[in-house]
Structure 1
Amino acid sequence: MTNTALVIIDVQRGFDDPAFGNRNNPDAEGNIAALVDAWHGPLVLVRHDSTEPGSPLHRGQDGNRFKPELDDAVPDLVFAKKVNSAFHGEADLHAWLTDRGITHIVLAGIQTNMCVETTARVGGNLGYRVEVVVDATFTFDLEDLTADQLARATATNLRGGGFAEIVSTKDVTDRWLRAPR
């Protein structure tokens, strides 16, 4: 499984700001930590550097830092982005993955229907086998849809559109715990 990378997207303290509103999946951070703990392949951490001066995700703000669940992570690549897709950041993720022979990516992080979904779509378009660990993501209510509705819609769009497989934390950790190290 050396051709597989775990990509953790925007797991930052700023998303705890009440201004984001109601969120779903209170187990997301625990599931992200379980993925990182079980993982023994390439690990990528992506951070969103907001260009909005008042944003809790703005570079230099405490909210721009990764959440404590990633404190013990030993990533192979860490970089920032200013847009939704991790494929459009300070590092050329596609080149980095290609140089290492990685053809399969497993995605988790924040927000399900924004940066995780966009990264999955771009990854699928680039020809990667993409898995989204939907129970290791969360999002927020948006307009007239709840966070749970948005997460279900994302899973349906990605699976139904052929962009990604939708998997659980248990699916991934069981597979990695059985894999030779």
Structure 2
Amino acid sequence: MTLTALPRSSALVVVDMQQGFTDPVWGTPVDLAGCRSRVRDLVDVFEAAAAPVVVVRHDSHEAGSPLAPDAGGNALFDEIAAVEPAVLVTKSVNSAFLGAPDLNSWLHERGIDTVVVCGIQTNMCVETTARMGGNLGYRVIVPLDATTTFELTGAGASADAATLMRITGINLAGGGFAEVCATADIGF
């Protein structure tokens, strides 16, 4: 899919690009290095266009979580920590729209109607943020190759990370929540 140029009323939402996702507790992500590089590419595109970059950080309340505020894994990856975000949203649930400060209000106050969502985990916080953004009326774009996730087991079944990423793309696009594309398709 090739997108037309993004409108000036766009923001990049970088979700949970945190060092704790290298902890073995998660398993092995799909192409974490590539995800990190492509997220940084998106930041560069938005910074060059003087468009806002929103950085989202997950502050887990679970005891022993590598994403807990007092854990080293709560820190952002270096390439995102170096970014001067327009706003830093902290959250303890899946959706960036349920963090602080209130992302929906922040976007509305600035006339932003399009969000590009990227980061970690594809099928968790990225997908939940994208779905909620779609429900709130935003045009949501997810460059799937600028996300990553891990194998998941539940309800007596499991799926590998690549399958979960593919299914997330189907859910978002097929469900009308978001446009799914590649990082190379994003531009102003």
Structure 2 length-normalised TM: 0.90
Deviation at 1:38, TM superposition (A): 1.8
Deviation at 1:34, TM superposition (A): 0.8
SS in 1 for 2:98: coil
Match in the other structure for 1:20: 26
Q: How many pairs does the alignment contain?
A: 174
SS in 2 for 1:87: helix
Deviation at 1:71, TM superposition (A): 3.0
Q: How does 1:78-157 map to 2 (within 5 A)?
A: 78-143=88-153, 144-157=158-171
Deviation at 1:72, TM superposition (A): 2.5
Match in the other structure for 2:45: 38
| Distance (Å, rounded) in 1 between the aligned partners of 2:181 and 2:84 | 23
Contact 2:169–2:180 (Cα < 8 Å) also in 1: yes
Partner deviation per Cα, 1:146-181 (whole Å, 9 max, x = no partner) = 000000000000000000000111111xx23xxxxx
Percent of pairs with identical residues: 49
Name the amino acid aligned to 1:30: S
Partner deviation per Cα, 1:65-93 (whole Å, 9 max, x = no partner) = 10012133121000210100000012110
Deviation at 1:2, TM superposition (A): 2.5
| Distance (Å, rounded) in 2 between the aligned partners of 1:70 and 1:121 | 23
Match in the other structure for 1:54: 64
Q: How does 1:139-178 map to 2 (within 5 A)?
A: 139-143=149-153, 144-172=158-186, 175-176=187-188
Match in the other structure for 1:179: none
Runs of 4+ in 1 over 4 A off after TM superposition: none
Name the amino acid aligned to 1:18: P
Contact 2:89–2:103 (Cα < 8 Å) also in 1: no
Match in the other structure for 2:3: none
Q: Which runs of 5+ in 2 are unaligned?
A: 1-6
Q: CA RMSD in A?
A: 0.9
Q: Which runs of 5+ in 1 are unaligned?
A: 177-181
| Distance (Å, rounded) in 2 between the aligned partners of 1:72 and 1:63 | 16
